[in-house]
Amino acid sequence: MTSLSDDERQMVESLGWPVELFEDPRKRPRLVQSPEEFAQALLLEDHLEDIVILQDGLKRAGLAENEALPPWLSKALDGAEGSVLRCLRQLAPAELAAHKAALEFPDDRGVQREALPRPYPFCLWDETGATKLPEAGALPEAWRDLSQRLVAAEALKAKGDLDESHLYVCEFRRLRERAANTAAAGYGCTDPTKSLCLRHARDWLGELSRWTLYWNCYDDGIFIGGRGSGKGLHVDQVLWSNIGKQWRGYKLMVTWPAGAESAQHVRALPDAHFRPPLGEPQLAALRSASRIALLRPGDLFICSGGVAHATVSASNELTVTGYESLVSLHPRLVAHLLETGSVSGPCALDKGVMECEELRELRLSLLQRLMALLQEQTASKVATSEIKSAASFGTPLSLPCPALRQQLASAASLVAADPNFALLAKGVGVCRLMAASDFLKASAKEAFGSEPSRK
């Protein structure tokens, strides 16, 4: 990773994070030099316990702020002067009513809280408290929209219960669906979306993005925060990867080793914030991290949401970050995904677990996506040496088809052997998965003489 400048060192020190951890070669993120190297790290390599950064990657991918974010949001950010509340106040009433986000902040104990907690019974697994019971079985839009969150945050500030600098906008997106991005049609995706982004990293990867088990551009969110705000220590509900876009500001990110160590940190420091002053438990946790990074404006990066992680905004200007969740076909990343929802074993968590029905629906959608890609590849009679992104913007990309097909075969075997997926696929489906896996492995040997190498 590029060494910290004097200003960056001061930024880190002012937040109480040990600067020497950023200089420890064992904890540094991996810096890639080209968009193609980034795509390879994303889709062909194991990045479970890594942070991979392509500096100036947003510009090279055609995902700069003026290309990817709506002008009304950029205008509000320009006039924010480092204040989340000032940014939100500048949004028109129609924009506030049309969008949703959680407004989070750390309480006096350093634990993450929401300005407007979810009402009962939606808060049953949420320790932030409850408001009155909703009349219907789902939260009404009038309660969920951003205007209600802003009113609640203003009230907390007026009572002296909220330090404005602690406020963090999480999962900022539309309340209602809109048509898919124009670029998405180029690789056959016409599904509607609730995203604010006019372009996604998935759109840039184009045809290559289809070689994944999952890629969420439906309700991907944007995160906005002032200096010292951020996300407390947690593991995502689904053990997936994230591709991040750092549009504005500087942000500190820390991740921990997968499995038992991540679960241990979540139990010991659930939703713990890493803003100053840091206690000894937080400092000890930072010292045990697998990766620690300073994200800079313009960075395109990869990290895992399936390991314990936390972030803190480091700059005086607002940080603006977007994430898209995905699961590549790499065997270790697929195997880690299959641990989602585990009630025992090293990845089992006591809180923040997806509900059973949601998890079943997710698994079913993953299975359908995998089966469709397998059917397409086993039916193809044309041997292709590489897959090209074929996007209309950004640096053109290509990856070797044999390596992608080998990973697809491995993913099919892993999913077929998983009891939860086998129950959904049933006997015939499991047989199809195994047969397709064997076919792809055999065709790779026949076409290339031996199985392609894999990192």
Domain covering 6-93+168-337: architecture: Sandwich (2.60)
Q: At how many degrees (to 10) do helices 419-448 and 356-379 cross? A: 20
The CB density around residue 416, as the number of other CB atoms within 10 Å, is 20
Give pLDDT tens digits for 8-66. Answer: 999 999 999 999 999 999 999 999 999 999 999 999 999 999 999 999 999 999 999 99
Domain residue ranges of the chain, discontinuous segments joined by +? 6-93+168-337, 356-448
User: For 234-246, what is the mean pLDDT?
Assistant: 97
pLDDT in the model for residue 2: 72
Q: Which pLDDT band holds residue 404 (cuts at 50, 70, 90)?
A: very high
Find out whether the peptide bond into 277 is cis, omega within 30 degrees of 0: yes
pLDDT in the model for residue 355: 85
Q: Which pLDDT band holds residue 347 (cuts at 50, 70, 90)?
A: very high
The CB density around residue 427, as the number of other CB atoms within 10 Å, is 8
Q: Which pLDDT band holds residue 228 (cuts at 50, 70, 90)?
A: very high
Give pLDDT tens digits for 64-94. Answer: 999 999 999 999 999 999 999 999 999 999 9
Q: Is the pLDDT of residue 3 over 80?
A: yes
Contact 213/334 with Cβ under 8 angstroms? Answer: yes
pLDDT in the model for residue 451: 46
pLDDT in the model for residue 380: 82
d(C-alpha 340, C-alpha 218), whole Å: 20
Q: Which pLDDT band holds residue 95 (cuts at 50, 70, 90)?
A: very high
Q: Which pLDDT band holds residue 126 (cuts at 50, 70, 90)?
A: very low
d(C-alpha 216, C-alpha 65), whole Å: 20
Q: Which pLDDT band holds residue 364 (cuts at 50, 70, 90)?
A: very high
pLDDT in the model for residue 448: 57
Radius of gyration of the chain (CA): 22
Q: Which pLDDT band holds residue 352 (cuts at 50, 70, 90)?
A: confident
d(C-alpha 255, C-alpha 341), whole Å: 20
Calculate the average pLDDT of the chain: 92
> In DSSP terms, which residues pair with 323 in a beta bridge?
244
Which segment of 102-116, 189-203, 303-317 scores lowest on mean pLDDT?
102-116
Which segment of 4-13, 193-202, 341-350 scores lowest on mean pLDDT?
341-350
Give pLDDT tens digits for 283-341. Answer: 999 999 999 999 999 999 999 999 999 999 999 999 999 999 999 999 999 999 999 99
